[in-house]
Structure 1
Amino acid sequence: MKGSLLLVFLFLFFASCKKSEIKVPSYNEGELTIVADESFKSVTEALAEGYMISYPKTKLKVVTQKEDLAFLDLLNGKAKIIVMSRDLSKNEKEAFKNKVDLELLPARFAVDAVVFIVPKNSSIEKISLDEIRQGLESDEKRFIFDGTNSSNLNFVAQKLGKAPSDLKFNIITGNENVVQQLSKYPDKIGVISLNTISRPYGKEATFLRSMIKVLPVEDKGRLFEPNIENLREMKYPFSRVLYFLTSEANFNLANGFIRFSCTQLGQMIVQKEGLQKYNLYQREVQMR
């Protein structure tokens, strides 16, 4: 009888130990890799740093990958959370539904822009939508992008109703490299993300801004600069909304990070990056 009781006790003991080892999903501890196009690296890293400050037991890492390739990583289970800027095609939406098996819920958190730049001493002061369209169809290849499969190229092509493969352009790999090497090609126009140069007091962003002019874009006789007001109203023709996609079904780190980025604290970080926050929070003041 005593032997039977001992066996029961040992079974219950080891069963309870095994149960305690089961990892319960948590948003406030653990490690997470966020995949983002290099164009969104600055704001994504700033949000990741803010999250780790709020939850010290977490470790978030931002890995850069071209936008199209990041989406493929999400579909194939190589990434749990990615940053996107362009609209998904019908086929991509179907692929997400079939492979990820979740409802497609873009978590919008910031308004960025694709901007057109020239060297500081260039005589060019503006550019029109027609000039952009014609230039990207010309064999002169007047525009320099940061690469194929990149968010900047994808978004401009989508804006013009074209496939990226239909456009003619030159490549210098990386947004920062486009800025730094543009002076070697005075007849060319660089195409980068606003977030590359938007951090108001960032040392690196300040240095990059000192080398270039950002061209206002003319549309229907009006000039639009990529400033906060025009981003807020989406008046600048190449304004774009950044959003997260995740394959995480439960409330673990990925969804915790998404929620943080879309709350007031996360949106303050977006604002400090020099971008337009997507979720607007009203400030209430009580008068007595």
Structure 2
Amino acid sequence: MKINSILFSFIFYFFIFPSCDGSKIISKEIDTPTTGKISVAVDENVRSLADALVDAFESSYPAAFLIESYSPEKNVVQELYNDSSRLAIMTRRLSVKESLFFEAQKYIVEQLKIGSDAVVFLVNKNNPDSAFTISQIRKIISGEDSLWSQIRAESKLGRINIVFDNESSSNLRYLADTLLGGGAVGKNCFALSTNDSVVKYVAASKNTIGVVGLNWVGDKDNEEDVARREKINFCAVGKSASELFLPNQSNIATGNYPFSRGVWLIKIGKRAGLGTGFASFSLGERGQLIVQRSGLVPAKPAERKVKITVK
């Protein structure tokens, strides 16, 4: 009888007093726009930007913890499907089919463009050919043009090799969709393991064209990016031989560089939580400045106020 009385008292106390330790444990699991812990799935092509945004956000809100996982684009989408992440940073919007999958589960899907990136082409420092038309890139990617002599008759470099960062890469998917209508790339295309391995491979191979995301090599203030840039040359691309543009912020912003793409923050959920706060920060003044300093084009460029004094 005494035991039953003690058990009843415990149950009564637990449910009547919500401020007890049990309630505190539950409340810690619920994130807010500036507190809590969530996982973020990141396309490894924009890892540098994601790291910078997360570091700045966490320094501004010490009670916020965003746990990043980096992987190729296909894996990022799979993490959203598996519900292991409800926040992602990638270089495309969700497809209609992907969005419907989440909407069928009564989730709200928010897709916010936070900046613009680009797919860039790299060649060895000793390769004199670093300018291509869109048509030439299409023929090279498809395998129709597989020799450097087809690009320039005098070339002695032999076979053209194209290397990508990963077979599930957003770079490979983007070019296949943009240039080949989603078709297969040529047999002269190979996948390595990382963007960094692409840069190293191109630096050691005169007959290779490397394909990476601009965010991996575009930050002029990042020592690692600067070191990578010193090993290779960027290729200029355009509609014709008389209109060729390098992949830089100016040419991406004007649309002159033909292979630019958005950087998207994908948020899946039913309420405003830490993902909402991070999205607001990323699109705010400080977040957009970080995008710009990463070598990309911010979705909302900062306004410049100029004071004119009339004498």
- Following superposition, the deviation at residue 58 of structure 1 comes to 1.7
Contact 2:108 2:270 in 1 (8 A): no
**Which residue is equivalent to 1:4?**
none
Q: Give the direction of change, closer, same or farther, for the CA distance of 1:80–1:93 in structure 2 (3 Å limit).
A: closer
1:252-283 residue CA offsets vs partner (Å, 9 max, x unmatched): 11121111101111001111111111112323
Q: CA deviation at 1:81?
A: 0.9
Q: Quote the residue 2:195 is aligned against.
A: 175
Partner of 2:252: 231
Distance in 2 (CA, whole Å) between partners of 1:39 and 1:171 is 14
- Inter-partner Cα distance in structure 2 for 1:175 and 1:11: 54
Query: Within 2, Cα distance between the matches of 1:45 and 1:190?
Result: 24
* TM-score, structure 1 normalization: 0.89
1:190 aligns to 2:190 (yes or no): no
Contact residue 145 and residue 153 of structure 1 kept, 8 A: yes
- What is the DSSP-based 3-state SS (H/G/I as helix, E as strand, rest coil) of the residue aligned with 1:181? helix
> C-alpha root-mean-square deviation of aligned residues, in Å?
2.6
Question: Mind listing any 5+ residue stretches in structure 1 that lack a counterpart?
Answer: 1-6
1:1-288 counterparts in 2 under 5 A? 10=13, 13-17=16-20, 22-23=26-27, 24-99=30-105, 101-138=106-143, 140=146, 142-163=161-182, 165-168=184-187, 169-220=189-240, 221-284=242-305
Residues 86, 154 of structure 1: 8 Å contact kept: no
Give the TM-score normalised by structure 2: 0.82
Task: Describe the SS at the equivalent of 1:254.
Answer: helix
Paired with 1:33 and 1:235, the residues of 2 have a C-alpha distance of: 36
Q: Deviations over 1:222-265 (max 9, x none)?
A: 11111111111222111111001122222211121111101111
User: Would the aligned equivalents of 1:157 and 1:167 in 2 still touch at CA under 8 Å?
Assistant: no
Q: Which has the larger radius of gyration?
A: 2
Aligned sequence identity (%): 29
Q: Is the 8 A contact 1:31 1:58 kept in 2?
A: yes
- Quote how far apart the aligned CAs of 1:110 are: 1.1
What secondary structure, in the 3-state scheme, does the structure 2 residue paired with 1:106 have? strand
Q: Greater shift after overlay, 221-230 or 192-201?
A: 221-230
Query: Can you list the C-alpha shifts for 1:23-71, whole angstroms capped at 9, x where unaligned?
Result: 2531222222211121100000000000011101222232111111211
Partner in structure 1 of residue 6 of structure 2? none
How far the C-alpha of 1:20 sits from its partner, in A, is: 5.3
Deviation at 1:185, TM superposition (A): 2.5
Greater CA drift, 177-186 or 210-219: 177-186
Question: Which letter maps to 1:279?
Answer: K
Q: Is the 8 A contact 1:85 1:155 kept in 2?
A: no
Q: C-alpha distance in 2, partners of 1:247/1:81?
A: 6
Does the CA contact (< 8 Å) of 2:87 and 2:275 recur in 1?
Answer: yes
SS at match of 2:116: strand
Quote the Cα distance in structure 2 between the aligned partners of 1:56 and 1:283.
31
- Runs (5+) with no aligned partner, structure 2: 1-8, 147-159
